[in-house]
Structures are given as C-alpha cells and as structure tokens.
C-alpha cells in the first residue's frame, strides 16, 4: 500500500497487516502498543521542547526583547540544554515527606495527560482510540491530573506546597465545570460525543461558524476555562513565585520536576487540540459555501498540516492571554467561574438547544 499524506489509514492498516502475518495476535498487538507508546513519547518530548522555546520567544516579543539567542542559532538549542540539565540534577527528597506518594505524584500527573492525548485525531487514520463517548472519556481522564497535584502538595510536607496544591485543586475543579459545559454545548450541536463524527460534521463549515453565537460563546469560555485548568497565567496563582516559591512542586527536582513541567505543556497542547477539533474543524480544511476554486485549493493542504496549524493558532492565543493580563487573586479566579462563566454556560446550552431545535444553523 502506498503512503498517503492525506490519509494515514493505508499506512496504519499496512503496519497492522504486516505484524499480523508475521506474529501471533498477542505478540502483534503488544508490538503495536509499543510502537504507539514510543511514538507518543517522542512526540510529547519534542513538541514539549518546542512549546517551551515558542513561549520564551512569544514572551520576548510582547516584552520587546529577543529571548534565548545564545545556545544554537536563534537559541534553538536552549530548551535542549535545559532538558539535559534537568536530567542530570540530583533528586532530593524532603526528610519527612511521604516516600510513596511523593514519588508517584509526578507519574499520576503525566499519565493523565498521556491518556487524554490518546483520543485526539491528528489526521484521517492517525488516532489511537475513537470511542463513541470520546468527549466524556476526555473530561474523565483529564480530571485525574488534579489528584497527582494534591498528592504532590500534601506528600512534600511543605506548607507552601500544600497551599499551592489546594489553590490548584480548587481552581481546576471549579473550571472543569466550564470546560465540560462548553464541550457539552457543542455535543448538543453535533449530536455526537465521538471525535471522528464531530470532525466529519465540519466538512462543509466549522462549528464555530455554523453554530452561530452559542458556538462562539462556548469557544471563548472554553479558552478561558482551559487556560485556568492548566494553571497558566493569569490563572497561575497556584504557582505564585512571590508567595509560594514554585507552588505544589516546590520540593521536586530533576526528572520529577521535569515531569510536572512537561505535563503543563502537554495539557496546553491538549486544550488547544480539543479546541481546534471541536470548534475549528480538526484536520478539516477551510471551505466557504460554493466557492469551488477556493475550496479545491484548500483541499491540497494535507490534513495534518491543517490540524497543527489550528493547534498552534490556539496555543498562540493562550500564550498571548498569559503575557497580557496580570495575575488574578484567588477570590477573583473563583468569582469569575462561579458568578459569570458557569451561569453564562448554562444559558448558552439552552440557547444552543434552541438553535438545534429550530434548525437555525448552516
């Protein structure tokens, strides 16, 4: 079978058939799991390094400076140097920390991120799982990460870590409601929780356009709540350096600190990828009605390019958001969710249901 940049189904099917012909079903399945796992590990490591570099450059641009420029051309090797430094750092554990919980917390956080990323469709045929309850699965596994954060703060036996973990837990649990309700709004419109069905339904028009005002409101709320759920500025009070040193991971160093650091950027990618998939068509190209020539040109761009282009666009918006607004107080963070975003979300779901019932959409 020939490799097709527009549809990876032929590639994945040929790999599956080749392994099935050469090995027993159990061995073939095990090898496929290993291939998928290694692929995700490499992708997360490389894309995480890229996001760290990109954030430094975006931050520098907003602050009218250059950012990393010393290590490698344009500072491209700076994040790699930092990663190597973290790997070589000594692992120091507080004397009175809970040994088991302290060591398992970083793994819980990063495993939750890996479980969430597995459901995302990167291109046709390039998706690990395609459940019919994909949105429900995503919201369920993404909620597991907060357990690791709370365990890390408590097991460190440090009051600053504990305060940071409690702040983070309250914030994530609060904004999880808005993230879920904004996704539920689009589930009402799409009529499905399966990611492949949601993407396929945007072949003619992305939901942010065809869903009218309720879809746009849901998109804005999703970006705000997603930013808060990933503990990014201006919602980074859980990691307030001026008060709590580094928050819930103050007592972590080396590889374990790197896991928390990497998990934050994986979650940034997941939030952006979900926004791109549910609201911006995923890997679907941009089409405008009966503009045949324009639509035909858009179809020439490979789906994986469309997907990552949209993801990087959303990531840039979230980074712009962080480096523009000042950090909020804890009462302002919770007030924004419970007094504003949550009521708006509830009304927006009813508005979307009305749009669907009256068929007032493209």
Residues 194 and 272 in one domain: yes
Residues 44 and 135 in one domain: no
Is 66 inside a domain boundary? yes
Is 115 inside a domain boundary? yes
Is 350 inside a domain boundary? yes
Residues 44 and 150 in one domain: no
Residues 187 and 83 in one domain: no
Residues 172 and 271 in one domain: yes
Name the domain boundary from 58, 73, 88: 88
Residues 216 and 346 in one domain: yes
Is 319 inside a domain boundary? yes
Residues 60 and 103 in one domain: no
Q: Are 156 and 251 in contact (CB under 8 A)?
A: yes
The angle at the Cα of 286, spanning 190 to 118, to the nearest 5 degrees, equals 55
- 308-314 contacts: CB < 8 A, separation 24 or more? 308/122, 310/276, 310/280, 310/281, 310/282, 311/269, 311/272, 311/273, 311/276, 312/272, 313/276, 313/280, 314/223, 314/271, 314/272, 314/275, 314/276, 314/280
Query: What is the number of structural domains in the chain?
Result: 2
Residues 196 and 233 in one domain: yes
Residues 167 and 37 in one domain: no
Residues 136 and 44 in one domain: no
Q: Are 178 and 333 in contact (CB under 8 A)?
A: no
pTM for this structure?
0.91
Residues 83 and 102 in one domain: no
End-to-end CA distance of the chain: 38
Tell me what pLDDT residue 226 has: 92
Per residue in 84-103, is it b (16+ CB within 10 Å) or e — as a string?
Answer: eebeeeeeebeeebbeebbe
CA separation for the pair 235, 226 (Å, rounded): 10
Is 246 inside a domain boundary? yes
Going by C-alpha positions, the residue among 236, 230, 241 that lies closest to residue 327 is 236
Q: Which domain holds residue 308?
A: 95-357
Tell me what pLDDT residue 362 has: 57
Residues 126 and 103 in one domain: yes
Name the domain boundary from 69, 88, 107: 88
Is 28 inside a domain boundary? yes
Q: What are 54's two structure tokens?
A: 């990109």
Tens place of pLDDT for every residue, the chain, 362 residues?
Answer: 455 677 788 888 888 888 888 888 899 889 999 999 999 999 998 999 999 999 999 999 998 898 888 888 888 899 899 888 888 888 888 888 888 999 999 999 999 999 999 899 998 888 888 888 889 999 999 888 889 989 998 998 888 888 888 888 888 889 999 999 999 999 999 988 999 999 998 888 889 988 889 999 999 999 999 999 888 878 887 776 666 566 788 888 888 888 888 888 999 999 999 999 999 988 888 887 777 888 888 888 899 999 999 999 999 999 998 888 888 888 899 899 999 999 999 999 999 999 888 877 65
Is 153 inside a domain boundary? yes
Is 362 inside a domain boundary? no
Name the domain boundary from 88, 109, 125: 88
């Amino acid at each position: 079978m020939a490799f097709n940049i527009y549809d990876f189904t032929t590639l994945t099917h040929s790999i599956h058939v080749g392994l099935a012909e050469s090995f027993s079903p159990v061995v073939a399945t095990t090898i496929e799991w290993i291939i998928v796992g290694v692929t995700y590990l490499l992708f997360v490591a490389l894309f995480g390094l890229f996001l760290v570099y990109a954030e430094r450059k975006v931050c520098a641009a907003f602050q009218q400076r250059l950012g990393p420029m010393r290590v490698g051309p344009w500072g491209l090797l700076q994040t790699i140097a930092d990663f190597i430094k973290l790997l070589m750092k000594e692992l120091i554990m507080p004397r009175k920390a809970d040994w088991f919980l302290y060591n398992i917390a970083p793994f819980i956080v990063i495993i939750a991120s890996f479980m969430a990323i597995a459901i995302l469709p990167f291109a046709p045929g390039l998706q690990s799982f395609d459940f019919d309850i994909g949105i429900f699965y995503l919201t369920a596994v993404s909620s597991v990460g907060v357990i690791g954060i709370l365990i890390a703060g408590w097991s460190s036996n440090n009051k600053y870590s504990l305060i940071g973990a409690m702040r983070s837990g309250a914030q994530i649990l609060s904004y999880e409601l808005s993230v879920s309700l904004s996704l539920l709004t689009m589930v009402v419109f799409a009529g499905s929780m399966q990611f492949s069905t949601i993407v396929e339904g945007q072949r003619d028009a992305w939901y942010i356009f065809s869903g009218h005002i309720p879809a746009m409101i849901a998109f804005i709320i999703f970006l705000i709540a997603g930013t808060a759920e990933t503990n990014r500025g201006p919602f980074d009070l859980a990691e307030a350096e001026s008060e709590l040193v580094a928050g819930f991971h103050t007592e972590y160093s080396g590889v374990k600190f790197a896991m928390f650091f990497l998990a934050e950027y994986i979650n940034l990618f997941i939030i952006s990828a979900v926004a791109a998939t549910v609201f911006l068509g995923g890997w679907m190209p941009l089409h405008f009605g009966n503009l045949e020539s324009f639509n035909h040109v858009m179809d020439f761009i490979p789906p994986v390019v469309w997907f990552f282009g949209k993801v990087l666009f959303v990531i840039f918006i979230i980074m712009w958001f962080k480096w523009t607004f000042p950090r909020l107080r804890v009462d302002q963070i919770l007030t924004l969710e419970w007094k504003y975003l949550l009521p708006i979300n509830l009304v927006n779901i009813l508005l979307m249901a009305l749009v669907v019932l009256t068929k007032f959409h493209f």
